[in-house]
Amino acid sequence: MHNSKARRPGAHSGRYNELVAALRYADFRVLWVSTVSNQLGQGIQQVLLGWLVFEMTGSGGMVGLVFAARSAPNLVIGFVAGVITDRWDRRSLMRASVVGMTLCAGLLGFLVSIDRLAIWQLMLVTFFLGAFQAFYMTAR
């Protein structure tokens, strides 16, 4: 049996009211919008990286290897990133991480646009993307 109060149509839950209340704070709005934007970009990037690697190599194994290169920094420097995050200003670290991820994505886009992207370059830049993401996730 579920023992909840019946709500009238159009009534919002307490969780909704909490979100609306939190959105009244400018700092929270900035954090929320930037986090949603970042996660959307990460999702799009994930799909496009897989597609790009498969187009370049035709190998599902290489797609997995590139994603392993992106995930490796979380295992390798995740703890160090946590310690640094505890000692530095989180906002500055988040900004620096986003700038780093943006530069990496821009470099990939540039190399693709001039048709000069090799798989080793893609793996290297993807590794750095993962490193910046490790810092971003711990600072968030």
Domain that residue 119 falls in: 44-139
Give the Cβ contact number of residue 135 at 10 Å: 25
Residue 73 belongs to some domain of the structure: yes
3-class DSSP assignment, residue 89: coil
How far apart CA 80 and CA 74 sit, in angstroms, is 10
Predicted confidence at residue 38, as pLDDT, reads 84
- Give me the DSSP letters along 94-129: HHHHHHHHHHHHHHHHHHHHTT---HHHHHHHHHHH
Residue 103 belongs to some domain of the structure: yes
pLDDT along the chain (140 residues), means of 10: 54 72 85 87 92 96 95 89 90 93 95 96 96 91
Q: pTM for this structure?
A: 0.77
Residue 116 belongs to some domain of the structure: yes
Count of domains for the chain: 1
